[in-house]
């Protein structure tokens, strides 16, 4: 004990700096331990979420997908998913009408301007006309 008191009195600065360096190393070790702990906790929680997702996917495939694939309509649905049409199905294609639109000059007499309008049989002006045209095309 007297020897320790002797060294404390003789080298006080060296002991202070030595304790400071030991303290810094202890802090670095504590920080690394905490970072490792947080990383482990994060990994555990992400693994738990992954496992729950896989369990839900497995339950879906066992409870629904297998029954879906064994059903009578499976072929029908799979064909539609792969863009394959059944024999009685058609693709409807909408095209933009590129014919020029005729414009008439306005006159003072509206009866003459109305009589000059062309009567195009392919011109569809209302939903009823559209329906009538559709039925006529189906009948032909």
- Contact criterion met (CB below 8 Å) for 67 and 77: no
Name the phi and psi angles at 121, rounded to 5. Answer: -70, -20
Say how far apart CA 76 and CA 88 lie, in whole Å: 12
Kindly give the confidence (pLDDT) of every residue in the chain, 140 residues in length, as a single tens digit, with 9 standing for 90 and above.
Answer: 888 888 878 888 888 898 999 999 999 999 999 999 999 999 999 999 999 999 999 888 888 777 777 777 777 777 777 777 777 777 777 877 777 766 665 555 455 444 455 566 667 777 777 888 888 888 87
Say how far apart CA 123 and CA 133 lie, in whole Å: 10
Structure confidence at residue 41 (pLDDT): 97
Tokens in use for 52? 């729950």
Structure confidence at residue 95 (pLDDT): 78
Query: Structural domain boundaries of the chain?
Result: 2-76
Structure confidence at residue 107 (pLDDT): 54
Q: Which residues contact 76 (CB under 8 A, 6 or more apart)?
A: 86
pTM over 0.75: no
Structure confidence at residue 113 (pLDDT): 47
Structure confidence at residue 117 (pLDDT): 52
């Amino acid at each position: 004990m007297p020897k320790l008191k002797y060294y404390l009195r003789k080298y006080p600065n060296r002991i202070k700096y030595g304790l400071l360096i030991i303290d810094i190393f202890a802090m670095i070790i504590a920080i690394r331990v905490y970072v490792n702990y947080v990383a482990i906790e994060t990994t555990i929680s992400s693994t738990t979420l992954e496992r729950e997702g896989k369990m839900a996917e497995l339950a879906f495939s066992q409870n629904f997908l297998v029954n879906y694939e064994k059903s009578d309509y499976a072929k029908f649905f799979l064909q539609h998913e792969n863009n394959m049409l059944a024999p009685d199905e058609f693709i409807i294609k909408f095209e933009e009408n590129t014919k020029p639109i005729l414009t008439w000059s306005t006159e003072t007499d509206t009866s003459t301007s109305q009589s000059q309008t062309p009567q195009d049989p392919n011109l569809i002006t209302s939903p009823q006309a559209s329906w009538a045209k559709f039925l006529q095309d189906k009948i032909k």
